[in-house]
Structure 1
Amino acid sequence: MKSSFLVAGTTICFLLMSVQSLASTKELESATYKVIPFGGDPYVSLDVRKAYANALLAYWIEFDSRVPRLSPAENEWIRQEMGAQGERLTRALSTREYALFSLSRDVDSCVSSLNRLNAVYADAAQAQAEMFVWLGPVKCYTNMDAMMTNLQRAELSDGSFDGTFYAVGSTLILHNLLDKVIPSAMADTMGWSISPN
Structure 2
Amino acid sequence: MQPFSVVFFLASVCFASAFDKRIVRANGIFASRTNVSVISVNNGGLWGYWTWVDMCPEHSYAIGFSIKLEEYGGVGVDDTSLNGIRLFCSPEQTRNVMYTVESDTGDFGEWSKIRWCPQDGALNAFQLKVEPYQVVNDNTAANNIKFRCSNGVLMEEVGGLFGDYSEWSKPCPNGKICGIQTKQESYQGIMIDDTSLNDVRFFCCN
TM-score by length of 1: 0.25
Asked which structure has the greater RCO (Cα within 8 Å, sep 6+), the reply is 2
TM-score by length of 2: 0.24
Give the number of the structure whose residues are more often strand, by fraction.
Answer: 2
Give the number of the structure whose residues are more often helix, by fraction.
Answer: 1
